[in-house]
Copies of this chain bind each other. A is one copy, B any other.
Amino acid sequence: MTRKIVVVGGGAAGMGAAGGAKAVDPQCAVTVYTGFDDVAYSPCGIPYVHGKEIDSFERLFLASKQAYVDAGIDVRYNADVTRVDVNRKVVEVAGQGEVPWDTLVLATGFNYADPGVPGGDLGGLYYVKNIREAMEWDKVLDTVRSAVVVEASPLGVEMVTALAHRGIETHLVDPSPWPMSEIADPDIMAPVEESWSELGVTTHFNTTLKAFRGDGQVRAVQTSDGEINADLAVICTHKEPNNALGVAAGLNIGSTGGFIVDERMATSAPGVFAAGDCTEIPNGLTGVPLQGLTGSHAYAQGKTAGINAAGGSRAYSAVYVPWGTAAGKWIIGGASLGETTATALGIPYVVGSAEGISRARYYPGVKPVKVKLLAEPGSLRLLGAQMVGGEGIKERADFLAVAIKFGLTLHDLAHMENVYSPAIGALNEPIVVAAQSGIDGLRKG
């Protein structure tokens, strides 16, 4: 008999699951429900269309609707799932009644945390997610003179840069002392702040949001530090797992609010899998559960969930979280722990850092690359990395996450070989220099 797989969510996790399932069992019937008009677009590109780096929203669509039809994946658009029954193995779809499943993948993603201040119902508050809405907001941006970005999350950092590139008077309001403070260390973010200030951005750190003010439409943002006139507020609060359906269905929820899943991405209910930003996954070093990882994690988890939901076998392991993004005129990135996180968790560490370069010193386009490595005292096992620079940050972040996972030490990194070729790399690889400086004990945490 044909296996019936229902996927709730058409984001990276949901579409990864649908594809993973079909790859294992081409005969299975996969139905994807999404509250949106589209699947298979890249939300990650939206800030860059707003910033005019990318010329059109059309470019963000990854595959046509027909491509899914051809792949035998039945996508139901604008179809909200309102209830999951794990005993009777059905979902209820708004206006369509119950739909049975043999296995279910919950990929309901994230919601931005509610700012929780008065004025949240005013016009002019932009939550960046749905591409159709983004297209409408992009027209609004042409009329906006002054905007406030609420919170310096990774998305907030991208949106600040985008609005500034767009020529809009841009303010950033964040309760922490520096941007992306939950992920990145202040020394890594300092050059980013500097480049924002070159772009005319006004940052308000250590500042809490008090209210949105206006008359139907937002006109000002009230903060602990005074009022900022603004025609637009972009809400970039942290991501919360969209867990309502699963909570109501009695699934086990972890400390972050994400669904608890095993290696197979199976939840606590038989036949029910979950993937993406609605789940939590332990950090491989600390065991601390993490929620709200990246689209790349969501996609890989979705694939794993889909494969297992279709009777295949695939494991997803604890994460070491390489991360990176463009920010101001820089690229920032890292893996696992920074000094801020390690300190917060009470994890002792030593530091090795280096200010290197991305190409030969004399080659056009050369950019600085700062690398900071955290290692366990004694063993010098790598615990984390933080970087700011111009190119090769993403590849170094990927590498260092693997290095952490496989227990490499500062000694291993200090002795690694590296390519030296003027157009693409310097004589001294910054990772090597940072590791050596850590060994030399120049700085201790």
A residues neighboring B (CB under 8 Å): 12, 42, 44-45, 48, 53-54, 59-60, 62, 294-297, 299-300, 317, 319-326, 331, 333, 360-364, 391-399, 401-403, 405-406, 408, 412, 415-425, 427, 429, 431
| A398–B425 alpha-carbon span in the complex (Å) | 10
A54 to B62, CA, bound (A): 39
The answer to whether A419 touches B324, judged by C-beta atoms less than 8 angstroms apart, is yes
A299 and B427 contacting across the interface, CB-CB below 8 Å: yes
Q: List 16 A-B contacts (CB under 8 A).
A: A45-B362, A45-B422, A48-B422, A294-B419, A294-B420, A296-B417, A299-B420, A323-B419, A324-B424, A326-B424, A393-B424, A394-B418, A394-B419, A394-B425, A398-B416, A401-B416
A260 to B153, CA, bound (A): 55
Q: What residue in chain B is nearest A284 (Cβ atoms)?
A: B417
A53 with B363: CB separation less than 8 A: yes
How far, in whole Å, are A431 and B326 apart by their CA atoms in the complex?
22
Q: With A and B bound together, what is the CA distance between A431 and B399 in angstroms? A: 11
* Choice from B294, B331, B399, B424 contacting A424 with Cβ under 8 Å: B331
Question: Measured between alpha carbons, how far is A403 from B403 in the docked complex, in Å?
Answer: 9
A397 touches B420 (CB 8 A): no
A423, B331: Cα distance in complex, Å: 9
Which residues of chain B have C-beta atoms less than 8 A from A406's C-beta? Answer: 406, 408, 412
For A422, list chain B residues within 8 Å (CB).
42, 44-45, 48, 54
Shortest Cβ gap from A336 to chain B (Å): 10
Copies in the complex: 2
**Chain A interface, >50% SS class:** mixed
Given contacts A12-B427, A395-B425, A398-B419, 7 further A-B contacts (CB under 8 A): A42-B360, A44-B420, A54-B422, A296-B420, A299-B420, A394-B419, A398-B431
B394:A296 contact, CB within 8 angstroms: no
Name which residue of chain B comes closest to A359, CB basis: B394
Residues of B close to A317: CB separation below 8 A:
415
- In the bound complex, how far is the Cα of B147 from the Cα of A250, in angstroms? 76
CB distance from A370 to the nearest CB of B (A): 15
B331 and A48 contact, CB distance less than 8 A = no
Give 5 closest A-B pairs by Cβ, nearest first: A395-B395, A296-B420, A59-B362, A399-B399, A394-B425
Given A295-B427, A395-B399, A398-B399, the answer on whether A324 and B421 have CB atoms closer than 8 Å is yes
User: Nearest-CB distance from A419 to chain B (Å)?
Assistant: 4
Contacts of A417 in B (CB 8 A): 296-297, 300, 319-322, 398, 401
Give the residue name and chain of the B residue nearest to A420 (CB): B296
Rounded to whole Å, the gap between the CB of A352 and the closest CB of chain B is 17
For residue A311, give the distance in angstroms from its CB to the closest CB of chain B: 18
- In the complex, which residues of chain B have a beta carbon less than 8 angstroms from the beta carbon of A420? 44, 294-296, 299
Q: Please name all residues of chain B whose beta carbon is closer than 8 Å to the beta carbon of A325 when the two chains form the complex.
A: 421, 423-424
Q: What residues of chain B lie closer than 8 Å to A331, measured between beta carbons?
A: 423-424
Distance (whole angstroms) from the CB of A174 to the closest CB of chain B: 20
- CB-CB < 8 A to A397: which residues of B? 419
